[in-house]
Chains A and B, each alone.
Chain A
Amino acid sequence: MTKTFLTDSGIPIDSIYTPEHLEKISFDYHNDLGSPGSWPYTRGIDPEMYRTGQWIESVYMGFGSPEDCNKKLLNLLREGKAIGLHIAMDLPTQLGLDSDNLMASAEVGRVGVAIDSLKDMEILFENVDLRRLRYVGTPAFANGPIMLAMFIALGEKKGLALTDYAVNIANDSLKEFVSRGTYIFPPRAALKLTTDAIEYCAKNAPSWTPVHVHGGSLRDAGSTSIQEIGFGLAFLLAYVESTLERGLPVDDFAHTLSLRIYTDMDFFETVAKFRSARKIWAKLMRERFGAKKEKSLKLNLQIATSGASLTAQQPMNNIVRVTLQALAAVLGGGQKIRCAAMDEALSTPTEEALKIALRTQQIIFHESGVAKTVDPLGGSYYLEYLTKKMEEEAMAYIRKIDDKGGILPTLEQRFIQSEIEKASYKFQKEVEEGKRVVVGVNEYIEKEETHIKIIRRDPNVIKGQIEKLRILKKERDSDRVRETLSALKEMANHGENLVLPILDAVKAYATIGEITNMLKEVYGEYHEGSTIYR
C-alpha cells in the first residue's frame, strides 16, 4: 500500500505536481495569480514588496508593573530600530477589572503589564517617543474603545496630533466567544463596541488600525489553517458589515482593517494560506461590497509565529521552528511579522529570548536573499495548487456562515466552536497515535531538566497597583469622574458612538474598571455556561 500524505489541514498531497494539476482546478494565470501589487493580489499587495524596505518587525512585550515594564521597553528601544509594538496587558486589564478587584488578585501583572488608568499608561510610556515606533497598541479584545481612548489620551498628553503616531489594536471582540475567552459583554454589544472604534478611526485617524482579527488564536484553540482564514475572514467581514450599517462607505475604512494570522509548521500550506487570504479578501471587497479604491482590496497581513507549535520540551528547538515559520511568513508576503521567543511555551519571554526572535528576522532579511525578489515561490505547481485549494475550502466556510444568517446566529449555534473542537481533538489523537511526529514530544524524547529561566511575578506589583489606585482616587477631580461616567452611560443608552465619551472619562482618570462597570450596567455581561460531556 502506498502511504498517503496530507497537509496539516488535511489536503491530500500527490508525489509530484505538474501543469495538469493546475488545469484540473481551472487555474488561470491572470485571475488566480496576476502580478504583485495588482489584482487579485495573490503575490503580494505591493509591486516591489521588500525591495523597498523590510517588513515591520513586531514585538509583543509587557509584564508586571508599568514602572518595571517601562524600563524594559526603553531597553528594547535603545537599539534604535523602529519596531511595531504590541503591549501585553494582564488579564484583569483585558477584562476591565481594576487591580483591587477580588477576582483580579491572583492575576495582576501576570501575563502582561497591569494598567488601571491613564496614569499607568503615562508611566509605561514615560520617555518613549511614540513617533519613533512604526505603531503602538495592545490586543484589547473586549474593550477596544477603552484602550483606543487610552492611546489617544496618551498622545494628547505628549502633545502629539493623531497623525504623528499610529495605533494598532486587535479589538476583535467576537472571536473571543470562540477562543481565548476574554469576552466581557454579550456578542451584540461586543460587535457594537468594536464598530465604534472602526468608525472613529475612519473619521479621525484613517492611518491607524482599529481592528486586526486574531485568526492565530483560532489555531491555538486547535483549528486547522483553512479554518483560521475561513473563520478569521468571516469575523472581519462581520466588522465590515456592521460598519457599513453606520453609513460609512466601504472605501473609507476597509484599508484600516487587518488580519493577524499565524505562520505555521506546514511550510507550503502556510505560504499558500497567506496568498489565498489576500485573494479571498480582494474578491469579497470588490464583488460583495463594491469597493472601488485599490487600497480597499489589499489585505494587510500581520503575521505571528504560531504559539501552539512551540513545545515546552527541549525549548531550544523552538528557535528552529520559529526560523522556518518566519521564512514562510516572508515568502508569503506579510506586512508585519512577529517572531515568538523560544521560551514562550513555558513563560512570558525573557529579554534574551526576545532578542533572538528579532535577530531571526534580520538574518532572513539581510542574509538569506529571499527578500530580493517578490513572491519567489510563485509559479510552483504545488504552491499554486494549494493556494487555490485553500481559497476554495476557506470560502466554503464563509458561505456556510452566510447561510446561517451571519456571524451572530452562527456563534449562537456554536458552529465555529464545534468545528474547531473537532479539529483540535482529531489533531490530538493523531499526535497520540504517533501519526504526527512532534520532535521532543512524541518522538526523540529526552529526560531533561529545562534550563529556561522562568520570569516570576513580583509580589509587590499588586500592592503597588492598589496603592496607586488609592492615591489616584483621592487626588483626581471626583466630580469630573462622576460626570463623564454618567455622560458615558447616557450616550450608551442612546446607542451613540462611545469612543469620545470614553475618552472624556479616561482623561478624567476614571479607571478601566469604572468605565467597564458603567458599560456593564447598560449591556450586561456574558457568561459561558457549563457543558456536560457524555
Chain B
Amino acid sequence: MQRKIRVLVAKPGLDGHDRGAKLISMALRDAGMEVMYTGLRQTPEAIVNAAIQEGVDAILLSCLSGAHDILFPEIMERLRAKEVADILVIGGGIIPNEDIPALKEAGIQEVFGPGTKTSEIIEFLRKKLGYSS
C-alpha cells in the first residue's frame, strides 16, 4: 500500500479569509490525505519550516488579499535555499490571470482560482505526486 499523501495548507501574510483553506483541508482529508493547516498569518519562513518539519509532499498556499505576488515567490525562494524545492507547491485565492505566469516562473506548479472543484485539485495532486487515482 502506498503511504498517504501529506499536505500542508498554509495562509501566508495577513489575510484572514480561511474558508477556502479549510474547505480544501476537509476535502483532501476525505480523499485520504493527511493534512496540516497552519492557521492564519504565517510568515514565509514559518511555512517553509512547517513543511520541512512535517515532511510534506505538497504545500497549498491560499491568499485573498493580493499579496500573493510577493509572498508566494518568497516562499519558493526559501524552499530552494533549504534545498527542498522538490516539494510540490500550488496556489489559490483571488489571483488575477495575468499574475499566473510570474508565479509559475517562480516555481508554483499551478494556480486554482475561485470556483475550482476540490476534486480537480485532488486529481492534480495525485497525478503530480505519482499516485494512481
List which B85-121 residues lie within 8 A (CB) of chain A: 94, 96-98, 113-115, 117-119
Query: Mostly helix, strand, loop or mixed at chain A's interface?
Result: loop
Measured CB to CB, the closest approach of chain B to A341, in angstroms, equals: 14
Establish whether residues A533 and B96, one from each chain, have CB atoms under 8 Å apart when the complex forms. Answer: no
B15 touches A (CB below 8 Å): yes
A-B contact pairs, 5 of them (CB 8 A): A97-B14, A110-B67, A220-B17, A421-B26, A533-B25
* A181 CB contact (under 8 Å) in B18, B34, B70: B18
List which B42-95 residues lie within 8 A (CB) of chain A: 43, 50, 65-67, 70-71, 94
Measured CB to CB, the closest approach of chain A to B37, in angstroms, equals: 5
Residues of A within 8 A of B (CB): 91-92, 95, 97, 103-107, 110-111, 176, 179-182, 220-222, 308, 311-313, 345-347, 421, 424-425, 428, 432, 438, 441-442, 449-450, 454, 457, 527-534
- A92 partner residues in chain B, CB cutoff 8 A: 14
Q: How far is the CA of A221 from the CA of B17 in the complex (A)?
A: 7
- A530 partner residues in chain B, CB cutoff 8 A: 36-39, 50
B125 touches A (CB below 8 Å): no
Establish whether residues A432 and B14, one from each chain, have CB atoms under 8 Å apart when the complex forms. Answer: no
Q: How far is the CA of A345 from the CA of B40 in the complex (A)?
A: 21
- A531 partner residues in chain B, CB cutoff 8 A: 25, 36-37, 39
Establish whether residues B115 and A432, one from each chain, have CB atoms under 8 Å apart when the complex forms. Answer: no
- A421 partner residues in chain B, CB cutoff 8 A: 22, 26
Establish whether residues A180 and B67, one from each chain, have CB atoms under 8 Å apart when the complex forms. Answer: no
Establish whether residues A110 and B114, one from each chain, have CB atoms under 8 Å apart when the complex forms. Answer: no
Establish whether residues A432 and B117, one from each chain, have CB atoms under 8 Å apart when the complex forms. Answer: yes
- B34 partner residues in chain A, CB cutoff 8 A: 532-534
* A111 CB contact (under 8 Å) in B37, B40, B65: B65
Residues of B within 8 A of A (CB): 13-19, 22-23, 25-29, 34-41, 43, 50, 65-67, 70-71, 94, 96-98, 113-115, 117-119
- A532 partner residues in chain B, CB cutoff 8 A: 34-37
Given contacts A311-B114, A428-B118, A432-B118, contact A347 B96 (CB under 8 A): yes
Q: How far is the CA of A441 from the CA of B35 in the complex (A)?
A: 27
Establish whether residues A347 and B66, one from each chain, have CB atoms under 8 Å apart when the complex forms. Answer: yes
A181-B16, A312-B113, A531-B36 are known; give 9 further A-B pairs, CB within 8 A: A92-B14, A105-B70, A111-B66, A179-B18, A347-B66, A438-B115, A442-B117, A533-B26, A533-B29
Measured CB to CB, the closest approach of chain A to B12, in angstroms, equals: 8
Q: How far is the CA of A105 from the CA of B71 in the complex (A)?
A: 10
- A424 partner residues in chain B, CB cutoff 8 A: 19, 22-23
- A313 partner residues in chain B, CB cutoff 8 A: 115
Measured CB to CB, the closest approach of chain A to B126, in angstroms, equals: 17
- B23 partner residues in chain A, CB cutoff 8 A: 222, 424-425, 428
- A110 partner residues in chain B, CB cutoff 8 A: 65-67
- A528 partner residues in chain B, CB cutoff 8 A: 39-41
Q: How far is the CA of A68 from the CA of B38 in the complex (A)?
A: 36
Q: How far is the CA of A457 from the CA of B36 in the complex (A)?
A: 32
Q: How far is the CA of A425 from the CA of B94 in the complex (A)?
A: 19
- B29 partner residues in chain A, CB cutoff 8 A: 533-534
Q: How far is the CA of A95 from the CA of B65 in the complex (A)?
A: 14
Establish whether residues A107 and B67, one from each chain, have CB atoms under 8 Å apart when the complex forms. Answer: yes
- The residue among A106, A220, A432, A438 with the most chain B CB atoms within 10 A of its own CB is A106
Q: How far is the CA of A428 from the CA of B16 in the complex (A)?
A: 20
- B94 partner residues in chain A, CB cutoff 8 A: 312, 345-347
